[in-house]
Chain A
Amino acid sequence: MVVPLILTLYGVAAAVLLPRLLARGTWADRAPRLAITVWLASCVSCVAAVVLAGLAVAVPASMVGHGLAHLFEVCAAMLADVTAMSSMDARLALLVSAALTVRLAYCAAVVLLRARRERRQHADMLALLGRHDGDLGAVVLTYDEPVAYCLPGRRGTTVITTGALRALSRPEAAAVLAHERAHLRGRHHLPLAATDAMARAFPRVPLFDRARSEVARLVELLADDVAARRHPRLHLAAALVRLATGRPPAFALGAGGGTAITRLRRLLAPESPLSRHERWAGMAVVAALLAGPAAVAAWPGVSAFLAQHCLEVHDCVDTGLFH
């Protein structure tokens, strides 16, 4: 029973402590791509730990120890005859694991399907209202409000309003569109959808809430970095300010924009990117987050398996087969 306990404790600790740990320092702003990977890995790690804890209760290590074929037999027997399962605990644990998995899958499906439907409706209206500008490589909408955004999907589209084109110089508009194309090419809607699905599936869990807002922030920083490879940072920074300040008050209400200040600071005074050492450390953390829970869950099985085989070898040695 030690393994399920360790996994559960780890899952709870990850849900509460990881967001605080990851939010420390400025490393994420210096390496947004790595930071997005770490946040996603943390979420997966947390869910996997709790789901595996349930499985570990239901499937005792001694059964795993007799080899893979035997494990499959046990699983088949369990599926065929639920009452054959050893105890009430095992059934309950398995139920919890299954419920969590189903809940997550359901929420992911809802998020993806709704996003797809909305995108399709939006694209339909865009086809009627916008005009594709070959030079800009974007759809131009006749609208006074300065707005630029992208519509992800198989045929990703970048959209810019005439208001934005008026507010921005040509190179600034090009920098903004490069930022949007970076979102499209990097498929940034996918990590956004993933964290959104987890935050919806398990509401009020600090890790998932924080992951959602952080990933949304980090994809902006990442798109800035990609755009800044080909466009002067100053143009992007100026565009950021023009688009932010050109809006009438009615549109300036609502959610705060701490990200805009961070983005401007990064564009104007870029910090050095992470060293190779720090980068490797980050990748090691990702690997540990992903492999950790599985390793802990598999450990009793593996050790039982090894013990059994070592025992067999030992027996063989004893009976003189190896002489």
Chain B
Amino acid sequence: MRGLGELESAIMERMWAYRRPATVRDVLEDLRRDREIAYTTVMTVMDKLFKKGLLKRQPMGKAYVYETVGSKEAYTAQLMRETLASSGNQAATLVHFLERLTPEEARALEAALRVFPVRDRP
């Protein structure tokens, strides 16, 4: 299973880098530059990515042309929004270094650091 996850990530990485639609064959040839891999394996994983909603596809001849649904940046932004939103009520999912602060609180922190460090500097 670990290998499959790694392959998913490798394929998405390439799809995001292309910035254009690509077929299973395109991705396969790209992947074959640094590993031995079967056409069916790549096809299966890309089908899985389609079902997960990460790729969209259109039939072209006998095969599909795949394209990413959103940019990597958009997915990252969404993941981070979810992460930051879950801080209060779902403490069990993630543990944050810092909860969200109001600007006044942030300023108070800064002021506190300015007062203290001289006496405690190691």
Contacts and interface: CB of A to CB of B under 8 A. Distances in A.
Interface stretch (B24-32, B35-43, B102-110): B102-110
A219 B94 CA distance: 13
A128 B91 contact: no
A141 interface: yes
Nearest to B84: A251
B92 A269 contact: no
A137 B88 CA distance: 26
A150 interface: yes
B73 A257 contact: no
A252 B101 contact: yes
A193 B109 contact: no
A15 interface: no
B90 A115 contact: yes
Interface bin, chain B = 35 or more
A216 interface: yes
Contacts of B112: 241, 261, 264-265, 268
B105 A260 contact: yes
Contacts of B69: none
A259 B46 CA distance: 45
Contacts of B98: 148, 240, 243-244, 257, 260
A269 B120 contact: yes
B121 A234 contact: yes
Contacts of A238: 113, 117
Contacts of B83: 122, 147, 149
A129 B76 contact: yes
Contacts of A265: 112
A216 B109 contact: no
B102 A233 contact: no
A128 B82 CA distance: 16
Interface string A138-160: 00011101011111100000000
A162 to B, nearest CB: 10
A258 B112 CA distance: 13
A122 B54 CA distance: 14
B90 A149 contact: no
Interface residues of A, number: 64
Interface string B60-91: 00000000000011011101101110111011
A149 B97 contact: yes
With a 10 A CB-CB cut-off, give which of A161, A196, A241, A249 has the most chain B CB atoms. Answer: A241
Contact of B92 (A111, A126, A141): A111
B101 to A, nearest CB: 4
B92 A196 contact: yes
A237 interface: yes
A259 B97 contact: no
B95 A189 contact: yes
Contacts of A189: 91-93, 95
Contacts of A254: 88, 100
Interface string A168-211: 00000000100110010000110011001000000000000000
Interface of B: 5-6, 8-9, 12, 54, 72-73, 75-77, 79-80, 82-84, 86-88, 90-103, 105-110, 112-113, 116-117, 120-122
12 contacts: A126-B79, A128-B8, A128-B12, A150-B95, A152-B94, A188-B95, A233-B120, A247-B100, A252-B102, A258-B105, A261-B112, A268-B113
Given A125-B79, A238-B113, A257-B102, 8 more contacts: A128-B54, A152-B94, A234-B120, A240-B109, A245-B109, A257-B99, A260-B99, A260-B109
Q: 7 shortest A-B CB distances, which residue pairs? A: A268-B116, A257-B101, A193-B92, A115-B92, A148-B97, A192-B91, A245-B106
